[in-house]
Amino acid sequence: MTIATLIAAGRLDESLLHGALDRLSAAGLAAEVSSWIDEGDAVDLAIAGGGEAIRSALEGWESVDIIPHADGDRSKRLFVADMDSTMIGQECIDELADYAGVKPQVADITERAMRGELDFGGALAERVALLRGLDENVIGRCLTERVSPNPGAATLVGTLNARDVTTVLVTGGFTAFAEPVARDLGYAYVYANRLEVEKGKLTGRTVGGIVDGARKASVLRETKESLQLGRSQTMAIGDGANDSAMIKLAGLGIGYRPKPALAEVADAVLLNHSLDALLWSLGIPARIGSSAASAPALRNRPGRALGGACTRRMLRRDWRRGRPGGG
Protein backbone atom coordinates (compact mmCIF):
# COMPACT_ATOMS: atom_id res chain seq x y z
CA MET A 1 0.00 0.00 0.00
CA THR A 2 1.33 3.42 -1.00
CA ILE A 3 0.29 6.74 0.49
CA ALA A 4 0.17 9.44 -2.19
CA THR A 5 -0.75 13.11 -1.87
CA LEU A 6 -3.26 14.37 -4.44
CA ILE A 7 -3.11 18.11 -5.16
CA ALA A 8 -5.42 20.04 -7.47
CA ALA A 9 -4.45 22.90 -9.77
CA GLY A 10 -7.42 24.80 -8.33
CA ARG A 11 -9.94 23.52 -5.82
CA LEU A 12 -9.93 19.80 -5.14
CA ASP A 13 -13.66 19.18 -5.20
CA GLU A 14 -15.61 15.94 -5.12
CA SER A 15 -15.65 15.73 -8.92
CA LEU A 16 -11.86 15.88 -9.21
CA LEU A 17 -11.36 13.51 -6.31
CA HIS A 18 -13.70 10.90 -7.75
CA GLY A 19 -12.17 11.42 -11.17
CA ALA A 20 -8.75 10.58 -9.76
CA LEU A 21 -10.08 7.54 -7.92
CA ASP A 22 -11.80 6.35 -11.11
CA ARG A 23 -8.61 6.73 -13.16
CA LEU A 24 -6.64 4.78 -10.57
CA SER A 25 -9.30 2.07 -10.48
CA ALA A 26 -9.29 1.82 -14.29
CA ALA A 27 -5.55 1.19 -14.08
CA GLY A 28 -6.14 -1.68 -11.64
CA LEU A 29 -5.12 0.34 -8.58
CA ALA A 30 -7.58 0.17 -5.69
CA ALA A 31 -7.55 3.53 -3.90
CA GLU A 32 -9.38 5.28 -1.09
CA VAL A 33 -9.12 8.51 0.88
CA SER A 34 -6.73 8.16 3.80
CA SER A 35 -6.97 11.68 5.25
CA TRP A 36 -7.35 15.30 4.20
CA ILE A 37 -4.34 17.56 4.70
CA ASP A 38 -6.24 20.71 3.71
CA GLU A 39 -9.93 20.31 2.90
CA GLY A 40 -10.50 21.21 -0.73
CA ASP A 41 -6.80 21.49 -1.53
CA ALA A 42 -4.82 18.33 -0.76
CA VAL A 43 -5.68 14.80 0.32
CA ASP A 44 -3.72 11.65 1.08
CA LEU A 45 -4.85 8.54 -0.78
CA ALA A 46 -4.06 4.96 0.18
CA ILE A 47 -3.35 3.14 -3.09
CA ALA A 48 -2.64 -0.53 -3.75
CA GLY A 49 0.26 -0.01 -6.13
CA GLY A 50 3.70 1.49 -6.58
CA GLY A 51 4.66 5.05 -7.36
CA GLU A 52 5.38 4.50 -11.06
CA ALA A 53 2.00 2.87 -11.66
CA ILE A 54 0.25 5.64 -9.75
CA ARG A 55 1.94 8.34 -11.81
CA SER A 56 1.14 6.54 -15.05
CA ALA A 57 -2.54 6.28 -14.15
CA LEU A 58 -2.86 10.06 -13.77
CA GLU A 59 -0.28 11.12 -16.35
CA GLY A 60 -1.44 13.77 -18.77
CA TRP A 61 -4.32 14.88 -16.57
CA GLU A 62 -3.77 18.61 -16.19
CA SER A 63 -6.11 19.02 -13.24
CA VAL A 64 -4.00 17.40 -10.53
CA ASP A 65 -0.53 16.51 -9.30
CA ILE A 66 0.15 13.37 -7.27
CA ILE A 67 3.17 12.70 -5.09
CA PRO A 68 3.65 9.09 -3.90
CA HIS A 69 5.54 8.26 -0.71
CA ALA A 70 7.00 4.87 -1.56
CA ASP A 71 8.92 4.31 1.66
CA GLY A 72 6.10 5.52 3.90
CA ASP A 73 8.39 8.08 5.57
CA ARG A 74 7.37 11.62 4.65
CA SER A 75 9.41 13.47 7.29
CA LYS A 76 12.48 15.13 5.75
CA ARG A 77 15.62 16.64 7.29
CA LEU A 78 17.45 17.79 4.15
CA PHE A 79 16.11 19.72 1.15
CA VAL A 80 18.36 20.31 -1.87
CA ALA A 81 17.09 22.41 -4.77
CA ASP A 82 18.12 23.60 -8.19
CA MET A 83 17.77 27.33 -8.84
CA ASP A 84 17.17 28.28 -12.50
CA SER A 85 13.64 27.48 -13.72
CA THR A 86 12.99 25.79 -10.37
CA MET A 87 13.29 28.20 -7.45
CA ILE A 88 13.29 31.15 -9.83
CA GLY A 89 11.37 31.54 -13.07
CA GLN A 90 14.33 32.32 -15.30
CA GLU A 91 17.56 30.85 -16.66
CA CYS A 92 19.97 33.53 -15.42
CA ILE A 93 22.62 32.92 -18.06
CA ASP A 94 20.03 33.41 -20.81
CA GLU A 95 18.89 36.69 -19.30
CA LEU A 96 22.48 37.88 -18.83
CA ALA A 97 23.20 36.97 -22.44
CA ASP A 98 20.41 39.31 -23.52
CA TYR A 99 22.46 42.25 -22.25
CA ALA A 100 25.37 41.00 -24.35
CA GLY A 101 23.18 40.65 -27.44
CA VAL A 102 23.65 36.88 -27.66
CA LYS A 103 20.51 35.53 -25.97
CA PRO A 104 19.25 33.42 -28.90
CA GLN A 105 22.56 31.55 -29.17
CA VAL A 106 22.91 31.05 -25.41
CA ALA A 107 19.26 30.11 -24.84
CA ASP A 108 19.45 27.44 -27.56
CA ILE A 109 22.48 25.85 -25.88
CA THR A 110 20.78 26.06 -22.48
CA GLU A 111 17.65 24.33 -23.74
CA ARG A 112 19.60 21.52 -25.35
CA ALA A 113 21.74 21.04 -22.24
CA MET A 114 18.68 20.92 -19.99
CA ARG A 115 17.15 18.27 -22.25
CA GLY A 116 20.31 16.20 -21.81
CA GLU A 117 21.42 16.55 -25.44
CA LEU A 118 24.74 18.24 -24.58
CA ASP A 119 27.49 17.67 -22.03
CA PHE A 120 26.84 20.22 -19.29
CA GLY A 121 30.46 21.24 -18.76
CA GLY A 122 31.03 21.87 -22.45
CA ALA A 123 27.73 23.70 -22.80
CA LEU A 124 28.56 25.91 -19.82
CA ALA A 125 31.99 26.81 -21.20
CA GLU A 126 30.51 27.61 -24.62
CA ARG A 127 27.84 29.88 -23.16
CA VAL A 128 30.16 31.69 -20.75
CA ALA A 129 32.62 32.34 -23.58
CA LEU A 130 29.87 34.26 -25.39
CA LEU A 131 29.68 36.65 -22.41
CA ARG A 132 33.30 37.73 -22.74
CA GLY A 133 33.75 41.49 -22.37
CA LEU A 134 30.40 42.10 -20.68
CA ASP A 135 30.61 44.70 -17.91
CA GLU A 136 30.44 43.10 -14.45
CA ASN A 137 27.90 45.74 -13.32
CA VAL A 138 25.38 44.32 -15.78
CA ILE A 139 24.94 41.32 -13.48
CA GLY A 140 23.36 43.53 -10.81
CA ARG A 141 21.03 45.08 -13.36
CA CYS A 142 20.03 41.67 -14.65
CA LEU A 143 19.36 40.42 -11.13
CA THR A 144 17.15 43.41 -10.33
CA GLU A 145 15.36 43.69 -13.66
CA ARG A 146 14.91 40.08 -14.73
CA VAL A 147 15.14 37.59 -11.85
CA SER A 148 12.16 36.68 -9.66
CA PRO A 149 11.28 33.68 -7.46
CA ASN A 150 8.71 31.17 -8.59
CA PRO A 151 5.41 31.26 -6.67
CA GLY A 152 5.58 29.50 -3.33
CA ALA A 153 9.38 29.38 -3.17
CA ALA A 154 9.82 31.54 -0.05
CA THR A 155 6.93 29.84 1.77
CA LEU A 156 8.39 26.42 1.04
CA VAL A 157 11.92 27.25 2.18
CA GLY A 158 10.82 29.33 5.16
CA THR A 159 8.57 26.54 6.42
CA LEU A 160 11.28 23.91 6.03
CA ASN A 161 13.75 26.12 7.92
CA ALA A 162 11.23 26.60 10.71
CA ARG A 163 10.85 22.82 10.96
CA ASP A 164 14.61 22.31 11.37
CA VAL A 165 15.20 21.05 7.83
CA THR A 166 18.61 21.89 6.33
CA THR A 167 18.05 23.82 3.09
CA VAL A 168 20.63 23.85 0.29
CA LEU A 169 20.52 25.68 -3.05
CA VAL A 170 22.78 24.02 -5.63
CA THR A 171 23.01 25.35 -9.16
CA GLY A 172 24.98 25.12 -12.36
CA GLY A 173 24.45 28.88 -12.52
CA PHE A 174 26.58 31.56 -10.94
CA THR A 175 27.31 32.83 -7.43
CA ALA A 176 26.52 36.41 -8.49
CA PHE A 177 22.89 35.34 -8.86
CA ALA A 178 22.67 32.36 -6.52
CA GLU A 179 23.93 34.06 -3.36
CA PRO A 180 21.35 36.91 -3.45
CA VAL A 181 18.58 34.48 -4.39
CA ALA A 182 19.54 32.17 -1.53
CA ARG A 183 19.58 35.08 0.92
CA ASP A 184 16.14 36.18 -0.17
CA LEU A 185 14.55 32.76 -0.04
CA GLY A 186 16.25 31.81 3.23
CA TYR A 187 18.58 28.97 2.19
CA ALA A 188 21.21 27.95 4.71
CA TYR A 189 23.77 27.08 2.02
CA VAL A 190 24.40 27.73 -1.64
CA TYR A 191 26.67 26.02 -4.16
CA ALA A 192 27.29 27.62 -7.56
CA ASN A 193 29.85 28.38 -10.25
CA ARG A 194 31.90 31.56 -10.18
CA LEU A 195 32.39 33.84 -13.17
CA GLU A 196 35.92 35.14 -13.70
CA VAL A 197 36.19 38.94 -13.79
CA GLU A 198 39.19 41.05 -14.75
CA LYS A 199 39.21 44.85 -14.70
CA GLY A 200 35.45 44.92 -14.31
CA LYS A 201 34.75 42.72 -17.34
CA LEU A 202 33.74 39.08 -17.69
CA THR A 203 36.61 37.07 -19.16
CA GLY A 204 34.39 34.41 -20.69
CA ARG A 205 35.63 31.81 -18.20
CA THR A 206 34.66 30.39 -14.82
CA VAL A 207 36.91 30.00 -11.79
CA GLY A 208 37.45 26.66 -10.04
CA GLY A 209 35.61 23.39 -10.46
CA ILE A 210 32.20 23.16 -12.09
CA VAL A 211 28.91 22.49 -10.34
CA ASP A 212 27.44 19.99 -12.80
CA GLY A 213 25.03 17.11 -12.38
CA ALA A 214 27.58 14.90 -10.62
CA ARG A 215 28.50 17.74 -8.29
CA LYS A 216 24.88 18.35 -7.38
CA ALA A 217 24.51 14.70 -6.43
CA SER A 218 27.70 14.80 -4.36
CA VAL A 219 26.46 17.87 -2.48
CA LEU A 220 23.31 15.97 -1.51
CA ARG A 221 25.24 12.82 -0.60
CA GLU A 222 27.95 14.54 1.44
CA THR A 223 25.51 16.82 3.25
CA LYS A 224 23.34 13.81 4.10
CA GLU A 225 26.37 11.98 5.47
CA SER A 226 27.60 14.98 7.46
CA LEU A 227 24.17 15.27 9.08
CA GLN A 228 24.03 11.48 9.62
CA LEU A 229 20.72 11.15 7.80
CA GLY A 230 19.16 8.24 6.00
CA ARG A 231 18.19 8.48 2.33
CA SER A 232 14.49 8.57 3.19
CA GLN A 233 15.07 11.81 5.12
CA THR A 234 16.21 13.70 2.01
CA MET A 235 14.26 15.54 -0.67
CA ALA A 236 15.45 17.23 -3.88
CA ILE A 237 13.82 19.23 -6.65
CA GLY A 238 14.94 20.32 -10.11
CA ASP A 239 13.79 20.75 -13.69
CA GLY A 240 16.54 19.68 -16.12
CA ALA A 241 18.60 16.66 -17.10
CA ASN A 242 21.46 18.15 -15.09
CA ASP A 243 19.41 17.43 -11.94
CA SER A 244 18.81 13.75 -12.70
CA ALA A 245 21.60 12.27 -10.56
CA MET A 246 20.59 14.40 -7.57
CA ILE A 247 16.91 13.56 -8.00
CA LYS A 248 17.60 9.82 -8.20
CA LEU A 249 19.76 9.97 -5.06
CA ALA A 250 17.14 11.69 -2.90
CA GLY A 251 14.57 9.86 -0.83
CA LEU A 252 11.93 11.95 -2.58
CA GLY A 253 12.98 13.37 -5.95
CA ILE A 254 10.64 15.94 -7.49
CA GLY A 255 10.64 17.28 -11.03
CA TYR A 256 9.29 20.83 -11.18
CA ARG A 257 7.75 21.31 -14.64
CA PRO A 258 10.61 19.09 -15.76
CA LYS A 259 12.23 18.30 -19.06
CA PRO A 260 11.34 14.76 -20.23
CA ALA A 261 14.77 13.37 -19.26
CA LEU A 262 14.20 14.38 -15.64
CA ALA A 263 10.53 13.42 -15.54
CA GLU A 264 11.53 9.85 -16.39
CA VAL A 265 13.63 9.44 -13.24
CA ALA A 266 11.72 11.62 -10.75
CA ASP A 267 9.53 10.06 -8.06
CA ALA A 268 6.90 12.69 -8.83
CA VAL A 269 6.41 15.79 -10.95
CA LEU A 270 4.84 19.09 -9.98
CA LEU A 271 3.16 20.54 -13.07
CA ASN A 272 0.02 22.32 -11.97
CA HIS A 273 0.74 23.95 -8.63
CA SER A 274 3.18 26.33 -6.97
CA LEU A 275 6.26 25.16 -5.09
CA ASP A 276 4.66 25.37 -1.65
CA ALA A 277 2.44 22.45 -2.68
CA LEU A 278 5.40 20.29 -1.66
CA LEU A 279 4.51 21.09 1.94
CA TRP A 280 1.29 19.13 1.49
CA SER A 281 3.36 16.16 0.34
CA LEU A 282 5.08 16.36 3.73
CA GLY A 283 1.74 16.45 5.51
CA ILE A 284 1.98 20.17 6.40
CA PRO A 285 -1.28 22.17 6.14
CA ALA A 286 -1.21 25.54 4.38
CA ARG A 287 -1.97 27.53 7.53
CA ILE A 288 1.16 26.11 9.20
CA GLY A 289 3.28 26.76 6.12
CA SER A 290 2.15 30.38 5.87
CA SER A 291 2.83 31.18 9.52
CA ALA A 292 6.17 29.37 9.57
CA ALA A 293 7.40 31.19 6.47
CA SER A 294 6.77 34.57 8.12
CA ALA A 295 9.09 33.79 11.05
CA PRO A 296 11.99 36.31 11.00
CA ALA A 297 14.68 34.09 12.49
CA LEU A 298 16.55 31.57 10.36
CA ARG A 299 18.75 28.85 11.74
CA ASN A 300 22.08 28.27 9.98
CA ARG A 301 24.10 25.14 10.59
CA PRO A 302 27.89 25.02 10.32
CA GLY A 303 28.90 23.53 6.98
CA ARG A 304 32.00 22.51 5.12
CA ALA A 305 33.17 23.79 1.79
CA LEU A 306 33.31 21.20 -0.98
CA GLY A 307 35.84 21.49 -3.79
CA GLY A 308 34.73 23.48 -6.82
CA ALA A 309 31.65 24.91 -5.16
CA CYS A 310 30.98 28.10 -3.26
CA THR A 311 29.40 27.65 0.18
CA ARG A 312 27.99 30.51 2.25
CA ARG A 313 25.76 31.03 5.23
CA MET A 314 22.78 33.01 4.11
CA LEU A 315 20.80 35.89 5.59
CA ARG A 316 17.26 36.50 4.46
CA ARG A 317 17.18 39.69 2.33
CA ASP A 318 15.28 40.47 -0.85
CA TRP A 319 17.75 41.13 -3.69
CA ARG A 320 15.34 43.51 -5.39
CA ARG A 321 14.09 45.60 -2.49
CA GLY A 322 16.51 45.08 0.39
CA ARG A 323 13.82 43.63 2.65
CA PRO A 324 12.38 40.21 3.48
CA GLY A 325 10.81 38.70 0.37
CA GLY A 326 7.61 36.86 -0.27
CA GLY A 327 6.75 33.59 -1.99
Residue 318: active-site member: no
Query: Residue 293 and residue 324: Cα distance in Å, rounded?
Result: 11
Query: Residue 293 and residue 290: Cα distance in Å, rounded?
Result: 5
Query: Residue 17 and residue 8: Cα distance in Å, rounded?
Result: 9
Q: Which of the following is catalytic: 41, 82, 184, 276?
A: 82
Burial class (CB in 10 A: 0-12, 13-18, 19+), 248: middle
Which helix H or strand E contains 120, and what residues bound it?
helix 120-129
Q: String of b and e for 251-289 (b: at least 16 CB within 10 Å)?
A: bbbbbbebbebbbeebbbbbbbbebbbbbbbbbbebeeb
- Listing DSSP states for 195-239 in one string gives EEEETTEEEEEEESS---HHHHHHHHHHHHHHTT--GGGEEEEES
In sequence order, the β-bridge partners of residue 43 are 6, 36
Tell which residue, 289, 80, 149, has the closest CA to residue 281: 289
Tell which residue, 64, 63, 23, has the closest CA to residue 47: 23
Residue 22: active-site member: no
Q: Which of the following is catalytic: 84, 184, 212, 267?
A: 84
What distances in angstroms separate CA 131 from CA 84, 93, 120, 181, one per listed residue?
18, 9, 17, 21
Which residues belong to the active site? 82, 84
